[in-house]
Amino acid sequence: MERGLISVDRWSDGSQAYFLTHLHSDHTRGLTSSWSKGPLFCSRITAKLFPLRFPGFDLSLLRVIDVESWHSFSLISPSSGSNTVLHVMAIDAHHCPGSVMFLFRGDFGCLLYTGDFRWEGTSKRAERARATLLNALQDNAVDVLYLDNTYCNPSYEFPSREVAAQLVADIIAAHPEHDIIIGIHDLGKEELLVHIARALNIKIWVWPERLQTMHLLGLNDVFTTKTDLTRVRAVPRYSFSINTLEGLNSICPTIGIMPSGLPWTVKPIECDDKHFGSPLTHQNSKSGEIQMGNLNGNLGLVKKFHKYIFSVPYSDHSCFAEIQSFIGLVQPNNMKGIVSSSSCYVDPIYYFGCLCKASQPAKKLHCKHENKKGGSQALAVRRKLYIESGKLTKLETQRRKDRKADYFGVRLKRFHSLRRIQRGAKIADIDFSD
DNA sequence: GCGATCAGCT
DNA sequence: CACAGCTGATCGC
């Protein structure tokens, strides 16, 4: 009676088509080289990078969805058993290389799944994505918007990546005698590194596997694996720590730069223009202070939470204002956050229900259970859509019979797992026919 | 011995 | 508090 039709960033059994928004591992959990549950649709760039992540994967399962045009294919309706046509368009999500949103249209209505995305109003790419989306939607309503709600709270404010990238370049320029390390992951932040390289006319060291990725992305000139060619190194995020920095400083003066949208990290030492040159340059006070140059009043954005470590608000997720602007543009009938985390999950309806076409009742923070009734009557479609979250119930049960350990400790750990499991959606189709 | 899951770390 | 991971331990097969 109830079976799955399509899944996005979810890899369990029971769907006829699987969609991957991008190659970060919290969206590929459950996907392995031996996976063979159906066709896997992704962007051209993701397909290009795919074999590096999943060597030996049966590439005949991989289907490229080029951005900005409609693709149609036939599936079997889980409810009626007859053929049904699914239309899908991929739109640049500008999160990491290859990342896309998926816009679906079919018997079930119209769905927009953003995956992780950054909706900067300032770039050419954003303008293009905006035009593509508007053109694709025409006058059709989006029934459900599945939204990257990572920073769906007004406290999350940060500048465009262009501004943040220049901040990083300025910090490096202000430390001409230092080695620099920048913490990055396996994919993402390439534009930041390219900006630094161009602004300072230097190459950037990366580890060998990362160089492979850069070459697949067509970035052939900027990066090197030879340490003697540059003082700027992009290193794996997990090897970037206070210990690492202290170790490096016993050999050579080195600062670390952490690009992140997260504003807190460790309690930062506040930096403002009044203390220009210090404490930003505190680590250098013995050998004389270094001037930071003119940061166009953006110096306050840079946090320094350790004598060797700077944190710069460079984010690949949308800030609150950008989320707001995106929802205002789409004006969905209903929406759901795709990111659920321990204490920070915010139902986007809480802040933006008023931007939905069918106005939503106010919701409480952190109260996911209220969703069940909430906006269901607002759906204009004949059939009701939902995100299956089967494993959640299991986890809840697990939590209850959990051992005697400290309540908060257990809770945090369980929610941590929960966050990871809840990424992605299995879009099921329930038959409500008489 | 292998994959899946979890704990701990950044 | 967590971005988006990685490593290592443990469990079931």
Q: Where are the domains of chain A?
A: 6-154+318-388, 161-312
Q: For strand B, which nucleotides have at least one atom less than 7 Å from a protein CB? A: 3-10
Residue with tokens 């013995």: A286
Q: Give residue A233's pLDDT.
A: 95
How far apart CA A200 and CA A194 sit, in angstroms, is 10
* Confidence at A430, pLDDT banded by 50, 70, 90: very low
Average pLDDT over residues A119-142: 90
Average pLDDT over residues A250-263: 86
Q: Give residue A79's pLDDT.
A: 76
Q: Pick out the nucleotide with least CA–C1' distance to A183.
A: B10
Average pLDDT over residues A123-127: 89
CA of A53 to C1' of C6 (A): 14
Q: Looking at the predicted structure, is the pLDDT value of residue A60 above 80?
A: yes
Measured from Cα to the C1' atom, the residue closest to B9 is: A238
Q: Give residue A297's pLDDT.
A: 59
> What's the CATH fold of domain A6-154+318-388?
Metallo-beta-lactamase; Chain A (3.60.15)
Q: Pick out the nucleotide with least CA–C1' distance to A413.
A: B7
Q: Looking at the predicted structure, is the pLDDT value of residue A164 above 60?
A: yes
Report in angstroms the alpha-carbon separations of A303 from A171, A216, A292, A308, A358: 11, 33, 14, 11, 41
What is the share, in percent, of chain A residues with pLDDT greater than 70? 70
What pTM did the predictor assign?
Answer: 0.78
Q: Pick out the nucleotide with least CA–C1' distance to A391.
A: B5
Q: Give residue A2's pLDDT.
A: 32
Q: Looking at the predicted structure, is the pLDDT value of residue A224 above 80?
A: yes
Measured from Cα to the C1' atom, the residue closest to B8 is: A413
CA of A31 to C1' of C11 (A): 21
CA of A85 to C1' of C7 (A): 44
Average pLDDT over residues A40-51: 94
Paired strand residues for A204: A223
Per residue in A352-396, pLDDT (tens digit) is 776 776 655 544 443 333 333 332 222 211 122 222 222 222 333
Measured from Cα to the C1' atom, the residue closest to C2 is: A262
Measured from Cα to the C1' atom, the residue closest to C7 is: A238
Q: Pick out the nucleotide with least CA–C1' distance to A258.
A: C3
CA of A47 to C1' of B9 (A): 31
Per residue in A3-21, pLDDT (tens digit) is 478 999 988 888 899 999 9
φ, ψ of residue A228 in degrees (nearest 5) = -80, 0
Q: Which CATH class is domain A161-312?
A: alpha beta
Give the 3-state secondary structure of residue A397.
helix
Q: Give residue A351's pLDDT.
A: 74
How far apart CA A51 and CA A137 sit, in angstroms, is 33
Q: Give residue A380's pLDDT.
A: 18
Q: Pick out the nucleotide with least CA–C1' distance to A261.
A: C3
CA atoms within 13 A on the CB side of A432: 9
Q: Looking at the predicted structure, is the pLDDT value of residue A341 above 60?
A: no
DSSP A61: G
How far apart CA A197 and CA A85 sit, in angstroms, is 47
Q: Looking at the predicted structure, is the pLDDT value of residue A426 above 80?
A: no
- Of the listed ranges A219-228, A253-262, A275-284, A373-382, the least confidently predicted one is A373-382
Identify protein residues whose C-beta is within 7 angstroms of any atom in strand B: A 30, 32, 34, 237-238, 240-241, 243, 398, 413, 417
Kind and range of the H or E run holding A205: strand A204-205
Q: Pick out the nucleotide with least CA–C1' distance to A23.
A: C4
Residue predicted with more confidence, A346 or A281: A346
Largest CA distance in chain A: 81
- A367: CB partners within 8 A, 6+ apart: A347
Q: For strand C, which nucleotides have at least one atom less than 7 Å from a protein CB? A: 1-7
CA of A415 to C1' of B8 (A): 15
Residue predicted with more confidence, A312 or A294: A312
Per residue in A315-324, pLDDT (tens digit) is 999 998 999 9
Q: Looking at the predicted structure, is the pLDDT value of residue A264 above 90?
A: no
Q: Pick out the nucleotide with least CA–C1' distance to A394.
A: B5
Q: Give residue A383's pLDDT.
A: 20
How far apart CA A326 and CA A336 sit, in angstroms, is 14
Q: Give residue A333's pLDDT.
A: 92
Q: Pick out the nucleotide with least CA–C1' distance to A410.
A: B7
CA of A248 to C1' of B1 (A): 39
Q: With contact defined as beta carbons under 8 Å apart, do A383 and A107 qualify?
A: yes
How far apart CA A186 and CA A236 sit, in angstroms, is 7
Identify protein residues whose C-beta is within 7 angstroms of any atom in strand C: A 24-27, 95, 116, 150, 185-188, 236-238, 260-262, 264-265, 267, 316-317, 339, 341-344, 412, 415-416, 419
Write out the two tokens for A61.
């399962």
Per residue in A281-299, pLDDT (tens digit) is 333 333 223 335 445 556 6
CA of A204 to C1' of B9 (A): 27
